[in-house]
Amino acid sequence: MDALQDNLVSLVMRTVGGRPREIRRALTSVAANTCQPIEVVIVYQGGDLAERQFLNSLQDEFSRLTIRVLHNTAVGDRRAENLNIGWEQATGRYLGFLDDDDTLEPHHCALLLAALQRSGRVWSYAQTTLRKENDALEIIEESQPFRRHSFSVAGLWTENFIPIHSFMIDRANLIDELRERPFCEALDRSEDWDFLIRLGFFHAPERVDEFTCNYYVSTGLRNTNLSLMENNDVERQERNRQAWARCKALVEQRKSALLGRVWWAQELFAGAVAIPVDGSVADEASTKNKICVPLLRSRIVRALIRRLERLL
């Protein structure tokens, strides 16, 4: 990562194409932000020449922004890799993300940037509105399911309530191990959640209470997030279920590895329950102990998280 520009906000947008209306809507919302200058790094994964020409033409259409278009020719679901490509090529000290079908409110970047500069913290996040829309991009339902009244490491480790476009990072003060290609490229689901778990483990955020961004879910076939669609065929649903299960297991492994780096966490886990090396069950008492292992581990993890929150 080259020298970063202190006065610049960069936004990474990944796309696989086919969404000209949504991309224009997203960029219109960025151009309307009161905080300028803003650099938008679009990472296009695909092989359609017409799509690349369309993306390259957007700079003329949105002259207030600096738009850079990068091309990833890889095949398969490379969503995490696309984020890493954008991260590496973005030149702003302050970095955020925006998926090609989501939008920002005009005060989004200004509020997050002010929160970072006021608090001296490494990242800030604001609140997100969920909007369901039809194929005509008409809003049919609006809700606020992501809102939490305070940040909690325990809550974040349980579920992701911070959408990827709701936070901003000060890369100049980021821990070294998250400075280069911080997204796990083995994940094709939950890649943003995995990153946030690690970010929140090392750095406390500054929370902004205002709603500054919008997360769109389409009720039509153009939605690439199968888990949020209805009436999918059985085969697609099963593939999606398996993909989510694989990624969830990997995220859980990475959580365990993260906790394992804290010496007192290892001690607590080692002393929780003594299970025979050969895995045998000697008597009824040992059977009961073995059954209690998941419960004990769950309690220990919650205790560890509370301790970490106090340290942060």
CA-based torsion, 68, 172, 74, 29: positive or negative: negative
Let me know if residue 254 belongs to a domain.
no
Same domain, 34 and 127: yes
Q: Summarize pLDDT for 143-191 with one digit per residue, the tens.
A: 999 999 999 888 898 899 999 999 999 999 999 999 999 999 999 999 9
Nearest partner of 55 among 83, 91, 16, judged by Cα: 16
* Residue 222 scores a pLDDT above 70: no
What's the confidence (pLDDT) of residue 89?
97
Q: What is the bridge-based pairing of β-strands 205-218 and 123-133?
A: parallel
Let me know if residue 128 belongs to a domain.
yes
Same domain, 68 and 110: yes
Let me know if residue 255 belongs to a domain.
no
Residue 77: Cβ-neighbour burial (10 angstroms; 0-12, 13-18, 19+): middle
Measure the CA–CA gap between 221 and 134, rounded to whole angstroms: 10
Reported confidence tier of residue 269, pLDDT bands at 50, 70, 90 = very low
Contact 79, 188 (CB under 8 A): yes
Question: How many domains is the chain partitioned into structurally?
Answer: 2
Q: Summarize pLDDT for 59-83 with one digit per residue, the tens.
A: 999 999 999 999 999 999 999 999 9
Reported confidence tier of residue 105, pLDDT bands at 50, 70, 90 = very high
For residue 48, the enclosing domain spans 5-245
What's the confidence (pLDDT) of residue 290?
38
Contact 161, 146 (CB under 8 A): yes
φ/ψ bin of 36: left (φ > 0), alpha (ψ from -120 to 50), beta (otherwise):
beta
Same domain, 240 and 280: no
What's the confidence (pLDDT) of residue 307?
63
Q: Is the pTM of this model over 0.85?
A: no
* Residue recorded with tokens 């290609």: 181
Same domain, 200 and 275: no
Let me know if residue 215 belongs to a domain.
yes
CATH code for the domain in which residue 73 is found: 3.90.550.10
What's the confidence (pLDDT) of residue 35?
96
Same domain, 295 and 162: no
What's the confidence (pLDDT) of residue 232?
56
Measure the CA–CA gap between 85 and 181, rounded to whole angstroms: 8
Mean of the pLDDT values across residues 75-103? 97
What's the confidence (pLDDT) of residue 237?
87
Q: What is the bridge-based pairing of β-strands 123-133 and 139-143?
A: antiparallel
Same domain, 86 and 229: yes
Same domain, 137 and 269: no
Same domain, 222 and 268: no
Same domain, 132 and 86: yes
Reported confidence tier of residue 280, pLDDT bands at 50, 70, 90 = very low
Reported confidence tier of residue 287, pLDDT bands at 50, 70, 90 = very low
Nearest partner of 153 among 203, 211, 190, judged by Cα: 203
Residue of higher predicted confidence among 293 and 304: 304
Let me know if residue 45 belongs to a domain.
yes
- Name the DSSP class of 63: T
Q: Summarize pLDDT for 151-162 with one digit per residue, the tens.
A: 988 889 889 999
Residues 6+ apart with CB under 8 A from 242: none
Reported confidence tier of residue 233, pLDDT bands at 50, 70, 90 = confident
Residue 84: Cβ-neighbour burial (10 angstroms; 0-12, 13-18, 19+): buried
Residues 6+ apart with CB under 8 A from 59: 65, 66, 67
Mean of the pLDDT values across residues 48-59? 97
Same domain, 231 and 267: no
